Amino acid sequence: MIRFLIKGLLRDRSRSLFPVLVVAAGAFLAVFGFCWIKGTLNDILWANAAFDTGHVKIMTNGFAAEADLLPNDLALIEVDSLLEYLRTRYPSMIWTSRTRFGSMLDIPDSLGETRAQAPVMGLAIDLSETSPERRILHLENALVRGRLPQQNNEMLISELLAEQLGVSPGEVATLIGSTAYGSLTLHNFTIAGTIRFGVTAMDRSVILVDEHEARLMLDMENASSEIVGYFPDLLYKQAAASSIVADFNSMQTNAEDSPHMFALHEQNELESMLIWINYFSAIVIGVFIVAMSIVLWNAGLMGSLRRYGEFGLRLAIGESKLHVYQSLLAESLIIGFIGGVIGTALGLAAAYYLQVKGLDISGAVKGSNMLLTNVIRAQITPAALYVGLIPGLIAPPLGTAVAGIGIFKRQTAQLFKELEV
Amino acid sequence: MNRIGILSIWMLTAVVQAQPSAEDILRRVDAVMTSDTKIVVSKMIIHGRRSMRIIEAKSYIDGTRRAFTEYLAPPREAGTKMLKLEDQLWTFSPQTDRIIKISGHMLRQSVMGSDLSYEDMMEDPRLANLYHAVLLGEENIGDRSCWILQLEAKTVDIAYPSRKIWVDKERYLVLKEQRFAKGGRLLKSAIVEEVKLLDGRWSPVKARFKDELQTGEGTEFVIESIQYNAAIPEHLFTKAALRR
């Protein structure tokens, strides 16, 4: 029966070509759109998790309330013991402390006078060779010139900043900032290398220093702005993160100095963004199914009209209305499958191209402070294999089912009259 | 008009004539608060959100345009020096051996975490040069009778477009002050808590400054010693002196 139907579809292209093309186009758009949304979402999550939110982040209540101002006078204290506690209670997570500070980077001339100066965003992290930060921040990949810090008082600065200030690795720069107590503080660093993360908000003015030196500079002994935690595979798991957050926070108080843990999705308004993106994905696929169904319904109606004689003959020779209807549905399933496979293959090919090459949007995010990558990429996930195929299988039978209802309305007597039998 | 009436008008006129104008008061305040040179040893008690710190410093001040300050304590700040020459300010940090000019938005930063900014330090202390004064009334600060003056800036490029000061009627010392933004928001306040006769002049020796935009209890400024019209070596007011 199936073979018979396939033969019919192949031999009568007017029955198959247009519906297959419609389904293939829809499946292509669904697969490509799905992969693009997934890739963009993944990039947003990575940028936020790596540079700001972690998968979970701990700050004091006081610091969190004014986090935009980086109030290091309200930083976490006794950080070593807090880290030890976290590593014991939640051993499956990677825990590391960070300190953020605003500062001026001053480049001296040969006489020690200011040659160039720029405001910078300081991020103090564990820069040791065994530090997980190297993997979290993709430091090796981000390095443009020079090398990663190996000695005390070495720093990494953004390549863009280095170009603006006219400095190269090996030169000495002075950081001018405020201690946690508000005093002016100056600290000399040697520029070990320059970096480019591909995230405009970071690349504009970031400097990376080792947290040990930052603590000396900022008068923050055993204190940090925050502690961040990551899942070992560096992939965010919302339910697991929420569970850790609930457990940790249940043991804390509301005091200004008390630590408080936040999950990634609770920060930077990411929760609403995640919900919106999920809705958007569902809308894309829903629109695909509805639009294709309408088009295929219309195609089915046209085909039914054209095949009026055929249906009449089939009914005349004794084929039941239900059987005619079922054979039409089976035909549409075959069309949906073929179109879905073709569309999925094309969608995956296009998504793979965008996954490898990416689309440079650095011009569009030039002035943005959001943590967005400059190059957005698609991401092929296992779901991409069926996200186009399933709607491709659903839409044609849906269209055919509606269009084919007309078969049951036919009167046999009228048929014989039409066929002039 | 009877004699009593004439006498009353004469007395009232005499009183009005005896009370100086707001501009006169301001000039007298400037004369009392400034001197040719002075050497001041002071300490700032800074009440932070988590802790209290004491910063000690010695300042050499030449009129209103030149000043050299060396921080003496705590050990972390000791050796840090600041030099003000006209409208420029430099700082030297022994840890980096760098002399850095403080300019632009850095001037708005706090001095050593206190409630005072570098901009406050750079201001011309002669109020009559910067403000027009209007006499608002009188009020007692503690047991001292004071005039209340409203000051409005003469120019637009000024940190505090308006101020209100309470001036001791007898000693012409400012005992209380409020500094306002253009829109009238209170930015900073200061109140003198102790006045002493030092080197033959009445001087405020303990005051509390408060940045009204910050939480906290403000900064106490205590003068340990003051020498008016002292001889100050000229070489101190050079950038080379910062490294010595």
Q: What does the pLDDT look like over B61-82, one tens digit per residue?
A: 998 889 999 999 999 899 999 9
Interface-testing mutation among A72, A117, A181, with chain B (most B C-beta atoms within 10 A): A181
pLDDT of residue A416: 62
Using 70 as the pLDDT threshold, list the residues of chain A that sit under it.
1-2, 4-5, 8-10, 13, 15, 296, 299-305, 308, 363-372, 407, 410-421
A279 and chain B in contact, CB less than 8 A: no
Q: Which residues contact A161 (CB under 8 A, 6 or more apart)?
A: A105, A118, A120, A204, A205, A206, A207
Chain B neighbours among A 246-265 (CB < 8 Å)?
256-257
- Residue A127 is predicted with a pLDDT of 94
Nearest CA in chain A to B97: A112
A222 touches chain B (CB under 8 A): no
B124 falls in which pLDDT band (50, 70, 90)?
Answer: confident
> How many contacts, defined by CB atoms under 8 Å, are there between A and B?
63
B48 in contact with A, Cβ within 8 Å? yes
Cβ–Cβ below 8 Å for B113 and A187: no
Asked if B16 and B9 count as a contact pair (C-beta separation under 8 A), the reply is: no
A221 reaches B (C-beta below 8 A): no
Residue A150 to chain B, least CA–CA distance (Å): 21
pLDDT at A273: 80
CA dist list (Å): A260 to A69, A75, A256, B38: 18, 12, 10, 51
User: Would you say A43 and A412 are in contact if contact means Cβ atoms under 8 Å apart?
Assistant: no
At A329, which helix (H) or strand (E)?
Answer: helix A321-357
Task: Please answer yes or no on whether A106 and B77 come within 8 Å at the CB atom.
Answer: no
Q: Is the Cβ of B113 closer than 8 Å to some Cβ of chain A?
A: yes
C-alpha separations of A398 from A299, A329, A405 in Å: 12, 9, 11
pLDDT over threshold 60, residue B3 = no
Take residue B6 and report the two structure tokens written for it.
């004439």
Do the chains contact at A186 and B113, CB–CB below 8 Å? Answer: no
Closest Cβ opposite residue B77 in set A62, A176, A183: A183
Closest listed residue to residue A52, CA positions, set A40, A62, A64: A64
Mutation target for A interface from B44, B50, B51, B71: give the one with most A CBs within 10 A: B50
- Rounded CA Rg of chain B: 20
A188 chain-B contacts, CB cut-off 8 A: 95-96, 98
pLDDT-derived band at B15 (thresholds 50, 70, 90) equals very low
Contacts of A179 (CB under 8 A, 6+ apart): A185, A217, A218, A219, A220, B113
What CA–CA distances, in Å, run from A95 to A141, A228, A292? 22, 6, 49
Residue B114 Cα, gap to closest chain A Cα (Å): 7
Q: Do A176 and B100 touch (CB under 8 A)?
A: yes
